[in-house]
Structure formats: structure tokens, C-alpha cells
Amino acid sequence: MKPEKSDPDFLPLMESFHTIQGEGYHTGKSAYFIRLGGCDVGCHWCDVKESWDASPFDWISVVEIADRAKRSGAEIAVITGGEPLMYDLSSLTEEIRKRGMTTNMETSGAYPLTGTWDWICFSPKKFKAPLEEFYSKSNELKVIVYNRSDLKWSLEHASKMTSKAKLFLQPEWSKSKEVAPLIIDFVKENPGWQISLQTHKYLNIP
């Protein structure tokens, strides 16, 4: 029997592994990734669509998940998905922080914020509108660029972020050749932005 979504002490774990953060502000750092199953945002270009349906995955205690993270030797735990905030992450982040690790998250912002975070990477999607709280509570805005219109769309989100937030544009992997030149020109004209690349894919690491 699987626990209810309201039980914060168990979560549907798709996979967890020690790797190198490949995207955004923390690119290049050792990190332990915790990928939770379940997502209804529905990005057609998602490269982990197998995460959308949480039903195949075992519900693991947050104590066990945190223990695995600690044993990896990494200092950063990155909670991602799927969409991790479909679940209450308060217990998970508490257990991770008890073990002296930093809590980072990647989210679309489509669900209310739970948990205690050292870093929030907010990556809004057109397919499911984000909640307003993420503009003031996130450390990083990362917009995935699939076509030219996403550049204008990114400015709309950036205008709501705090002045301390880091701003990143990332080419969607399958469209990199087409959109990378657009992003380069955009960043030249808008120096508050930076380019994020999926370096883990170039390096062929998870």
C-alpha cells in the first residue's frame, strides 16, 4: 500500500545518484540528485517523461533518502523531478539539513512551496502557470528557450524577480543549434542575463 501524498515522510523516488550539476548557477559542482516521480506540467520537450507517472516508483522514507544522500559524500542535495512540489518536502529537507547538506531544488513553481531551501531554481513553464510566491522566494530564474517568443516571455518573468536573483537562459537541447545564436544576441543586449548549458549532456554524465 502506498502512502498518501499528504504524508511527508514517504516520497515516490524515481532515482537518486551522485553526479555533477550540469545546469544553472551551480554548474560544475558535485551534487546528489533526488528525482521524484510525478508531474502534470506536461512540457512536450521534457527529457524525463518517464517521471510523469509516479505509480511505478517505490515510496521511500525520507530518512532513507537522506541517508543515501549523505553516504554519497556530496555536499549539495538537488531535489528535482518530475515536479517535486507536488509533494510536501518539509520532512525531506529537514532530514537532509540534519546531515549537514545543502538543499537545492529545481521547480516549475506550479505548486505551493514547502520545505527549507538553501537554493531554489525556478524554471517556469507555459504549460502550467507558476504561483506568484516563487518570484520573491527563488534564487535563480532559468528559462528554457525553445523558440524566439520565449525570449520576450523570459523578460516578463524577470521583471517580477528580486534584484538579487540570478537570471539564466538555457537552449532546449533539441533546438540548440537554432536558438543558441538568438540567446547569445539576447544576452549581449541584456547583460543581466547569463547562458546556461546542459553541460552534463556534453560530458555524457547523468
Give the model confidence (pLDDT) of 142-174 as tens digits.
999 999 999 999 999 999 999 999 999 999 999
Give the model confidence (pLDDT) of 86-145 as tens digits.
999 999 999 999 999 999 999 999 999 999 999 999 999 998 999 999 999 999 999 999
Domains of the chain: which residue ranges?
A: 10-203
Reduced to 3 states, what is the DSSP secondary structure of residue 73?
coil
Strands ordered across the beta sheet of 59-61: 59-61, 10-20, 30-36, 76-80, 102-107, 119-122, 140-145, 166-171, 193-195
More confident residue, 46 or 188: 188
Mean pLDDT for the stretch of residues 195-202: 91
Which one, of 20, 25, 18, lies nearest residue 73 by Cα?
18
Query: What is the structure's pLDDT at 4?
Result: 63
Reduced to 3 states, what is the DSSP secondary structure of residue 53?
coil
Q: Does domain 10-203 have CATH number 3.30.200.20?
A: no
- pTM higher than 0.75, yes or no? yes
